[in-house]
Every structure is written in C-alpha cells, then in structure tokens.
Structure 1
C-alpha cells in the first residue's frame, strides 16, 4: 500500500491513474478537494478496490495518524500543494498554510509512523516529496540549467512556500534520519490539468473564441515536461532513489511562452478549424505578471546518470496529445469552468472519511 496526498490534483491524479494501470499495489488517495482537486478525474476508479479515496486535509494531524495506522503504507508520496503563481500573489497565506504548515504536519505524522516501524518495514519506508524548479529562481538566456546544487532563490510566494517545504523535508532526513526523497520538476502539461495553467487555458479560451492572453513580450522560457514522463520519473525515484537525495526532473524542452501558444493555435487549426482565419488572431499581449521569472531550465543529468531515467515524450508529440485530449474532453473542461466539478464528490463520493 502507498499513500498519496493531493491525488485529485493534476499531477497527483495522473500518478494515481498511471500507478494503478501498472501495479496491483493499492493506493490510499488523500485530497482536501480545494478548487484544484477534481474528483471527476478519478470517477472511473470508483469500482476499483485498489483505490481508496479519503477526503482529508494534510493539516489535520489526527486524520493523518488514523490513516497511517489503518492502512500501514510502505511509502508516502506528497503531491498536495497550492501551485498557481498568480493565486499566490493574491493569496499568499493559502500557500503558506498548505505548502509549509501542511508539509510540516505530514512530516511529523510520517515520522511518528516510521519510528514505530521495525526491521525490514522500517528500512523499506520512503517519504517522497514532489516539488518544483521554481525554488531555484530565474535564469538568464545563457545561464546553465538548474542542477540539484543550484542555490535556492525563490521569487514568488508560491516558489518561496515550496522552497520552505523542501527545506523541511531535508531537515527531517538530516535531523531524524527519516528516509526522504525530493524531486524538483519543470513545468508539467498533459491531460486533466486545471485550466488556469498556460496550455489548457489557451486551448479552452481559443475554442471559446476568447482572447489568448500572453504576459509581457511572451519570451519567458520554460522547460516543459509531459506529465506521463514525470509520473515515470517519480516511480523510478521511489524504487531506486537514495534516501536524503534530491533529483531534478526535466523535459529537455525549453520553449518561450509565445511559441507554445503559437504551437497550440496551429494544432487547433488542424483539429478544430475556425470558420475564418487562424486561432493565432486571438493572441493578445497583456501587462506582465509581477516578478515574472524570465527563464527556467532543468538539468536532469543526475537522474539519468544514477537511476537511468530520461524523458520519452518530445514536446511536439506531447503537446499534440494534450491538445487532442482537451478537444475530445470538452465536457471535463466545461464542468471545471462552470464549477459543477466541485459538487461531484459530495453528491456521489467514492469514500467518505
């Protein structure tokens, strides 16, 4: 049994779905179901006895203690986080509560559980913390990519809160000896992503005939990682990573934001043509985001060198799959945009807890 936090969010849900497609080992899936947690993503698992969904908050220590004692997980994979930079600028307290205080609460619950284990179970236990490349700050056009030894320099409340959680995980390993693993990933994209993020936002706005807002000059650079590759990397680190170590996970796909938007428009022109003209005509440059980091790039050489992992999906192939998924699943997007997805769990839950 493994325990996953934030398993109704974008990356967490993809991981849970991927895990159960590849393993018989059950998953206890803990999610608070905030706005970014979508229970409908997991609906097809409702009859799968290997998937145990629990509606709970990682700040609820009593609930965490009870879950660990009941299910006795061999590993905890911590995906739960507030993750949208714009929201962190408007509401930083939410990010501190979930990403810092919540991680500390989860770590303490995990430590109490781990210290009560004995023998092979204690040796085999792992706590894997999923984090972001944004903790490293911003790069210039010719700077070397972020490595695991790059000094932390977070520039947004979101990045600062994730940096804080990374430091806590490190401290729990070095102070208490708890067998932790940390992964810092680049920008993820793929199915089931909440449509506030760049790629799904542009797809749904394009299809609705709305302007496609591009911050500043559109030349901010991100390294794009297909979510399926990210899930594979996490499984690899869980199985073979060295406790106490950090592993960067990158897609080797640096792209400017405006190039990404133009690629999306070209794919939509082919998949769902407008009556007249191209979706590119909807691109609109808007005032830049406060403190907008110019470039992220991730050096994942350590993960390849030590554990043999490298991304399999090209950006062209991954983006084509992603655009097609959103074109084929407009009902999922509409449920999110209307807010209907927020009512789905409470009207017909998988498990009440």
Structure 2
C-alpha cells in the first residue's frame, strides 16, 4: 500500500513538472509581419479626425508595430495586429485623445520609432453663454472650446431658422439669433468633429409672460417692502433692471404685485426664470408668493436660491416645484426675501423675470 502511494506521488510530481515546463514555453507569435530596421511612413489618411475615427497609415517597412502613442498627453491607441501589414497600419483615434495638432509616435518590434503629424478634432463644448433669452436679431456669445472650426449653428426645434455665425475663436462663438415661432430651443453646433446638442436652452422672449423685462409687464408694479424700483444703472438685457434694496436687519421681501388682473394659472407655462445680480456678498434669498403654500412674506423658506456676489446669475425654476398657484389662481404677489442682511444694506438687480412655456 505504501508503494502504491509512493508511485502516485511520483507520478503526480512528474505531471506537475510537465505542466510547469509547458507553461514556460514562449507563446506563439501571431503577428503577420516582421519589424523593419528602416520603417518609412508615407501618408496618414485622414490627416485630421475626431476620437474613435478609423485612420490608415501607409508606407513601407511598417510591420510589427507594437505601440502607437498620441504625444499630446501620451495617449495610447489600441492596435490589432491583424490590421498591420508591411505597407499599412489601421487603428482608431483613442476616445481620450486630446484635441490638438500633435504627433503620433509608432514603435515597432525592434524598438525603432517614427512619428507622423496629425490633428485630433474635438467636438464643440459650450460652458457658458452671455444670455439665455433672445428676440430675433439678438447677438449672443457662447464660451467653451473647439469653436474655431464651427461651420453651422441651428435651432434644435426649428431647422428652418438660420442662426448666423458673427465671429469665432477657439474659445468663443458669437451668433445672431433668428426669428422663430418656437418658444425655447437648444442648439445644434457643427464643427470638423461633428455635431453636438447644447445642454443650454435658449428662450424666445416673444412667447413668454413678462413680469419684468424692459419695464414692468401688463398690470405689474413694484410690490416691495424695501426701497425698490426701475433702474438704468445696470441691466442684463436692454437698458433697464429692477433694483431691489434690502436694508440691514429688515428681513424684507422685495418683488412684484399685480393687484387688478393677477397672474392666472396656465398649464402651458413650465418655468419661472430670471437673471439676478448679487450684492456685496453671497447671500441666500427665498422666493415668496401669496398663493404659495407658505404665503407671501419673510417666513417661507421652502424655495431658497443662492445669489453670488456682484455677478449676474441665471435661474430657471420648474413651476411644478415652485407651486405659485397652490392656494388658487391668480397669484398677485411674487418676490424674494432674505434673513437680515446682517452685515450691511444690500442691493440686488433683477432682469428678464418671466414665465416660460
């Protein structure tokens, strides 16, 4: 019995040794070509392309390419040996390649390197806009990147409306807005990399309910507790804004009133939007309305907004969440109040206070 166990152990050890030795054998090389000591690149086609585009390098001595690196950011491209011959290399622009003019560096199995110039195209990116509201003919500047080669801008909701490109740089795109019957729309922006849809949506002022724009809307007036009224000192659109004064420690509510007609509920309207320029410091204000659940005044804290100091900030708030007609229709008062202010008197400026369809 002991002999049998010994034989089994010897056999098992021999088998393990065979497996270990077998695993040490060099893997079979499935490459279809061999490396050249003198690779000679010719033409790369296309010479510029966006991420994930297929490109082809032709030439001679191009076999056995091991790495392809886009040198802006040292981004590696994947390579399938089946698409590499002595005369050509096919590969895709990496998804994370940096949009820029750069070199693509190739290294073959002998360690020989060569490079070819190439331009990675980037889709347009929009990070900021000068205004979200427009009437036909208004000029708006978009800020972002990859904008120098933009060739076309159109309204997503109205392909027949021509958006005119006024000027462009790598980081800015200035456009003239068209006449359209659409109430709001994002933009299609096309450049060498392709077409993107902006996350920003632009509102046609011809089809909004105006509470305040270039003056008060129909039957709307100043309904503020503190010092307030129309100002020409600053404006986001046009020449006028609504100046709202908040005296230190007063906890006042400033805004608008419509006592005769009121502002009736209309299911077509989806948002309350407005621009506001902040005071001397960042402050939290609260939207208040007489037909909201909390009523008008300085007690309802259910709709806060943070207003940054000294800059214009755009707000677009769902009317479903704001619930301006909770207690019935029409509502007659809409405003903004602040706890304090504690440090000093503050002045805010409101512009383009509108209900958007």
* TM-score range normalised by the length of the shorter chain: under 0.3
Name the TM-score, length of structure 2 as normaliser.
Answer: 0.22
Pair member with larger Rg: 2
